[in-house]
């Protein structure tokens, strides 16, 4: 037996609107806590190191994804690096065109493996290129909350 | 594999950009009835176990598992739901048969994408809530960044990516199931509005509603049920690192790992020589090229030129996405990989109509779970 009757007029196809309100708390975790406190208090980055695999994890993690060992070696990492890849984003989260397109990049930091995904600014989209030297611009100390948004954006060095 | 497993029934409903007349449960029922008729089975009597794939946020309900048994004939039966790519669900059904405990299994996937009003937010919710989500960026930005890096590392050109769109949407014109068939030029694609440069709107698969259901059976049972069972020779799946900050932006390592596992189980040494055609995730045009290379069907950086020259076209030496792929059929959310499998089944059965590939004996289907994931799954099927 299959569907024997079909709705044949759009007006007969009923639907209801509903939403799913979700709120949550997201724990930064032991590694994330130390990373974001360092940004908030000192305006600099910290990474963890796996000495066996020779990997400096940015963002820092408590475990190595290669050898699965626990990491407790922390190092300071400079806030400069280069553009590994980027895109010019033309839509917002409502899928509407952005009045001003924004540049999002993955920046690999010089002193680490990995880096950070963040916006680029103080540059026009057509002037960005792969390998371009950039540095993080931090918010003023009294505006920092201990979040990824304490970095305003990266800009060309 | 330790036990032969075959697909003995295939059913579908959709694939259309809107289906205002059917609930998602009715889409599933419609596809299930076709699959059970095709296999000649009564679900209440013959089917031992059921697997569905889905994702709560796509359904707009929590604990979607509870919503699946009745429309599949699965009430009071073993039911497993998997939050994953459709082919991961197929793998789970295969494994249940391999245990020896079950002889007939069903796998189902579906999409009611037209009911989702905030899809970019749902995808953004999949990004790390501490490191990435606060940026408030449209998640297709990840695809734009991947595409740029892939182009740079492999010297693939935007024209070659656009050729994937022209090919797949044109293939879809020969597929009555496909909801997004179109005759478009490479230039149309390149001049379409940008979403996340270099990715244009026409390089992103639109969405479709639909459902896909397969009936799987163990060797002897399959031979009794079907004159033409389609054998599952090997399955593989893999995830890469979760972190955007640690993943290789230009390379689909998850596809390589998933493919290697599927080829190993299937006993395939040289995929390019032993497989006749493939249905490969093309959620974004560049992904088809990246996946083709990672799966080993051509060398890294050569898929674009191969596509531009027509090697992967219908009638080419190695047809890729004869169905039209996700670009031509529409992206079916968690069921997208199962739609890839469906085309492989139809081709191997010789039921692909105008788009039938001559002497198709062995085919591969590969699914990817979409941005921001690095989850891929592959299956090798043959006559």
pLDDT at residue B130 is higher than 90: yes
Nearest to B137 among A58, A89, A149 (CB): A89
d(C-alpha B105, C-alpha B5), whole Å = 10
Query: Phi then psi for A9, rounded to 5 degrees?
Result: -130, 130
**Distance in angstroms between the alpha carbons of the first and the last residue of chain A:** 69
**Any chain B CB within 8 A of the CB of A13?**
yes
Average pLDDT value for chain B: 97
Residue-wise pLDDT for B252-302, tens only, equals 999 999 999 999 999 999 999 999 999 999 999 999 999 999 999 999 999
Mean pLDDT of B143-161: 98
- How far apart, in whole angstroms, are the C-alpha atoms of residue A155 and residue B202? 31
What 8-state DSSP symbol labels residue B193?
P
Q: In which domain, by residue range, is A70 found?
A: 26-156
User: Which candidate from A32, A59, A65 shows the least CB-CB separation from B241?
Assistant: A65
pLDDT classification of A97: cutoffs 50, 70, 90: very high
Please name the residue of chain A whose CA is at the shortest distance from the CA of residue B245.
Answer: A114
Residues 116-135, chain A: which have Cβ within 8 Å of B?
116-119, 125, 130
In a domain, A118, yes or no: yes
Looking up residue A56, the CATH number of its domain turns out to be 2.40.50.140
Cα gap B250→B254, rounded to integer Å: 12
Nearest to B46 by CA among B234, B230, B224: B224
Residue B227 has pLDDT above 60, yes or no: yes
pLDDT 10s digits, A9-59: 988 999 999 999 989 999 999 999 999 999 999 999 999 999 999 999 999
Confidence of residue A2 (pLDDT cuts 50, 70, 90): confident
Lowest mean pLDDT among A2-6, A9-13, A76-80, B35-39: A2-6
- Tokens 């960005």 correspond to A128
At a CB cut-off of 8 Å and minimum separation 6, what does B105 contact?
A: B47, B48, B49, B50, B51, B93, B94, B96, B97, B215, B216, B217
pLDDT in tens, A107-157: 999 999 999 999 999 999 999 999 999 999 999 999 999 999 999 999 999
User: In this structure, are residues A105 and A156 in contact, taking their beta carbons and an 8 Å threshold?
Assistant: no
ipTM: 0.96
Is residue A39 a contact partner of residue A150, using CB atoms and an 8 Å limit? yes
Peptide bond into B284 cis (omega under 30): no
Return the pLDDT at B175: 98
Output the six-digit token pair for B325.
């792929």
Pairing of strands A113-120, A97-109: antiparallel
Answer whether residue A19 is part of any domain. no
B285-294 and B253-266 are packed helices; what angle lies between their axes, rounded to 10 degrees?
Answer: 50
Q: Does A62 touch chain B (CB under 8 A)?
A: no
**3-state SS, residue B14:** strand
Which residues fall within 8 angstroms of residue B307, CB to CB, at 6 or more apart?
Answer: B160, B163, B164, B167, B288, B289, B313, B320
Mutation site for B-interface testing, chosen from A2, A50, A117, A149 by largest number of B Cβ within 10 Å:
A117
In a domain, A60, yes or no: yes
**What's the Cα-to-Cα distance from A142 to each of A36, A92, A150, A152, B247, rounded to whole Å?**
14, 29, 10, 14, 34
Q: Which of B58-67, B236-245, B316-325 has the lowest mean pLDDT?
A: B58-67
Inter-residue contact B203 to B353 (CB < 8 Å): no
Q: Are B182 and B308 in contact (CB under 8 A)?
A: no
The upper half-sphere exposure of residue B188, i.e. CA atoms within 13 Å in the direction of its Cβ, equals 11
Taking CA atoms, B23 is separated from B13, B43, B60, B206, in Å, by 12, 21, 12, 20
Does A59 contact B245 at a Cβ distance shorter than 8 Å? yes
Q: Residue window 278-337, chain B: list those with CB within 8 Å of chain A.
A: none
Cβ separation of A90 and B194 shorter than 8 Å? yes
Position A1 scores a pLDDT of: 57
Output the pLDDT for position B1.
Answer: 77
Give the largest CA-CA distance in chain A: 69
Half-sphere exposure of residue B244, counting CA atoms within 13 Å on the CB side?
Answer: 27
Phi and psi at residue B158, in whole multiples of 5°?
-60, -35
Residues of A in contact with B41 (CB under 8 A): none
DSSP sequence for A77-141: E-SEEEEEEEEEEEE-TTSPEEEEEEEEEEEEETTSEEEEEEEE-SS-GGG--TT-EEEEEEPPG
The answer to whether the beta carbons of residues A104 and B147 sit under 8 Å apart is no
Report yes or no: B91 at the A interface, CB cutoff 8 Å.
no
Question: Does the bond joining B86 to the residue before it have cis omega, within 30 degrees of 0?
Answer: no
Superfamily for the B5-117+208-230 domain: Thiolase/Chalcone synthase (3.40.47.10)
Domain boundaries, chain B: 5-117+208-230, 119-206+234-382
Which of A3, A85, A148 has the CB atom closest to B26's CB atom? A3
Of A4-8, B22-26, B201-205, B284-288, the least confident: A4-8
What is the per-residue pLDDT across B72-90, written as a single tens digit (0 to 9) for each?
999 999 999 999 999 999 9
Instruction: Calculate how close chain A gets to B41, using CA atoms only, in Å.
Output: 12
Residue A54 lies in a domain: yes
What mean pLDDT comes out for the span B309-318? Answer: 97
* Number of domains making up chain A: 1
- Token pair belonging to B59: 């359904």
Nearby residues of B187 by Cβ (< 8 Å), 6 or more positions away:
B162
- pLDDT at res. A3: 83
Q: Which CATH number among 3.40.50.1110, 3.40.47.10, 3.30.390.10, 3.20.20.140 corresponds to the domain B119-206+234-382?
A: 3.40.47.10
Phi, psi (deg, nearest 5) at residue B180: -130, 30
Longest CA span, chain B: 57
What residues are paired with B222 via a beta bridge?
none
Q: Which residues neighbour A111 within 8 Å (Cβ) at sequence distance 6 or greater? A: A47, A56, A75, A76, A77, A78
Phi, psi at residue B274, to the nearest 5°? -95, -10
Closest C-alpha to B91, from B77, B105, B101, B78 = B105
- B197 closest CA partner among A155, A117, A102: A102
* Interface subset of B 213-242, CB within 8 angstroms of A: 241
């Amino acid at each position: 037996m299959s569907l024997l009757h079909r709705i044949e007029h759009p007006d007969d196809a009923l639907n209801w609107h509903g939403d799913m309100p979700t709120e949550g708390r997201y724990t930064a975790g032991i590694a994330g806590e130390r990373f974001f406190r360092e940004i908030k208090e000192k305006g600099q980055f910290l990474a963890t190191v796996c000495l066996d695999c020779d990997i400096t994890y940015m963002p820092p993690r408590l475990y190595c994804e290669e050898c699965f060992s626990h990491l407790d070696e922390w190092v300071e990492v400079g806030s400069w690096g280069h553009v590994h890849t980027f895109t010019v984003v033309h839509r917002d989260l409502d899928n509407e065109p952005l009045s001003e397109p924004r540049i999002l990049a993955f920046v690999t930091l010089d002193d680490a493996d990995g880096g950070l995904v963040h916006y680029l600014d103080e540059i026009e989209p057509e002037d960005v290129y792969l390998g371009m030297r950039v540095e993080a611009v931090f918010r003023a100390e009294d505006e920092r909350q201990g979040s990824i948004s304490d970095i305003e954006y990266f800009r060309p060095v | 594999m330790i036990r032969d497993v075959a697909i003995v029934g295939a059913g579908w409903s959709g694939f259309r950009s809107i289906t205002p007349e059917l609930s998602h449960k009715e889409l599933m029922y419609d596809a299930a009835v076709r699959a059970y008729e095709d296999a000649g089975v009564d679900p209440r009597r013959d089917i031992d176990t059921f697997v569905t794939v889905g994702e709560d946020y796509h359904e707009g309900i929590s604990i979607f598992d509870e919503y699946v048994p009745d429309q599949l004939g699965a009430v009071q039966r073993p039911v497993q739901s998997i939050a994953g790519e459709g082919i991961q669900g197929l793998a789970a059904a295969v494994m249940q048969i391999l245990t020896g405990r079950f002889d007939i299994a069903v796998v189902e996937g579906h999409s009611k994408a037209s009911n989702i009003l905030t899809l970019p937010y749902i995808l953004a919710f999949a990004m790390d809530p501490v490191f990435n989500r606060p940026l408030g960026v449209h998640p297709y930005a990840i695809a734009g960044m991947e595409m740029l890096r892939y182009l740079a590392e492999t010297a693939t050109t935007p024209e070659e990516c656009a050729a994937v769109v022209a090919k797949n949407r044109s293939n879809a014109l020969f597929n009555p199931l496909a909801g997004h068939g179109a005759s478009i030029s490479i230039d149309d694609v390149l001049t379409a509005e940008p979403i996340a440069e270099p990715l244009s709107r026409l390089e992103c698969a639109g969405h479709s509603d639909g459902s896909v259901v397969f009936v799987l059976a163990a060797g002897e049972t399959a031979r009794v049920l079907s004159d033409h069972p389609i054998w599952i020779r090997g399955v593989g799946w893999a995830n890469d690192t979760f972190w955007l900050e640690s993943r290789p932006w230009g390379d689909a390592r998850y596809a390589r790992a998933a493919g290697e596992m599927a080829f190993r189980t299937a006993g395939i040494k040289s995929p390019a020589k032993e497989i006749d055609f493939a249905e490969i995730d093309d959620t974004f045009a560049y992904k088809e090229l990246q996946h083709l290379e990672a799966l080993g069907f051509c060398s890294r950086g050569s898929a674009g030129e191969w596509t531009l020259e027509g090697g992967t076209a219908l009638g080419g030496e190695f047809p890729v996405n004869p169905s039209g792929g996700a670009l031509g059929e529409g992206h079916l959310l968690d069921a997208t990989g199962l739609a890839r499998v469906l085309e492989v089944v139809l081709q191997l059965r010789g039921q692909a109509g105008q788009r039938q590939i001559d002497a198709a004996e062995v085919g591969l289907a590969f699914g990817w779970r979409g941005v921001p994931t690095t989850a891929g799954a592959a299956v090798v099927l043959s006559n």
